[in-house]
Amino acid sequence: MRRTFEVNVFGPMAMVQGFAPLLVKTATPERPTVIVNIGSTASLPPPFMATYGASKAAIQGLSGALRLEMYSLNVRVMTLELGVVRTAMSAGEKLGDIMRSPTSGYYDNFDEIFKQVEATMADLLTSAPTAAAVASQIADAVKASPPPKLWLGEMSAAFRFIVPLLPVRLLDHLWWKPQGVDKVKAPIR
C-alpha cells in the first residue's frame, strides 16, 4: 500500500513542489505552464484494487485543489482520467501488483479470481488505444488549452458520463462478474 501511494501520490506531489518555483516563474497569461497528473477511472475502485483506486482518488483530489490554487499564478493543472490503455501494466506485467488489496488474502481462490480479471482485461485491450496514441492526445491537449480533466482510454467515456449517474447497488452488481466477485470463496475455518 505504501509503495503504491509513494508512486501515485507522494511522487507526483514532490515533483510539483520541486518544479513549482520554475513553473510559476516562467508562466505568463499568454503562455501558462501546465502540470499533468495521471489519474484513473479506477479511482472508483473495482474489487481487489482498493489501494490502487484510493491512490488515484487521492491524486484527483490533490489535483483539483492544486488547479484552483495555481490558476491565478498562470499554472494550469490537468488530470488525466485514464481508462484501459495498452501498456505493460495493463498487459498483465503489473496487474497482479495492483490487484493485491488488503482483503485479497482472505480468499482461497484468489488465483481463479485473478484469471477472470486477466480475461476481462484482455477483452478490453483488444480495442484499447496504445500508449503512444494516448501520449499524442495528451500532447495536443497541453499545446491547446488544457482542460481540467482529460478522459482517454477504453471505457473512460462510460466512467465520465454513465457511472456517476448509477445507483451504488447497481454499480456494485456491474462489478461482480467482470472482476470475479461472483467466484469468491471464503476459506473454511
The total domain count for the chain is: 1
Residue 14 located in a structural domain: yes
- Indicate which CATH number applies to the domain containing 66: 3.40.50.720
Q: What's the one-letter identity of residue 141?
A: A
Q: What is the pLDDT of residues 125-146, one digit of tens each?
A: 888 899 999 999 999 999 988 9
Helices (H), the chain: 2-5, 11-26, 50-71, 95-98, 110-125, 131-143, 156-157, 168-176
Over residues 22-40, the mean pLDDT reads 95
Residue 107 located in a structural domain: yes
Q: In which order are the strands placed within the sheet that holds 149-152?
A: 33-40, 75-82, 149-152
Residue 73 located in a structural domain: yes
CA pair distance 97, 146, nearest whole angstrom: 32
Residue 74 located in a structural domain: yes
Percentage of the residues of the chain whose pLDDT score is greater than 90: 44
pLDDT for 186 equals 64
pLDDT for 176 equals 74
Q: What is the pLDDT of residues 36-95, one digit of tens each?
A: 999 998 877 777 788 888 999 999 999 999 999 999 999 999 999 998 888 876 655 555
Say yes or no to pLDDT of 163 above 60: yes
Q: First and final CA of the chain: distance in angstroms?
A: 27
pLDDT for 101 equals 58
Closest CA to 114 of 96, 87, 93, 89: 96
pTM reported for the whole predicted model: 0.82
pLDDT for 30 equals 93
Which residue's C-alpha cell is 490503455? Answer: 85
Residue 127 located in a structural domain: yes
pLDDT for 162 equals 86
Full residue range of the structural domain in which residue 157 is found: 2-182
Residue 154 located in a structural domain: yes
Residue 188 located in a structural domain: no
Over residues 6-26, the mean pLDDT reads 96
Cβ atoms 9, 59 nearer than 8 A? yes
Q: 130 forms bridges with which residues in the sheet?
A: 86
Closest CA to 155 of 48, 82, 92, 55: 82
In this structure, what is the dihedral angle of CA atoms 145, 147, 148, 150, given to the nearest 10 degrees?
-140
Residue 51 located in a structural domain: yes
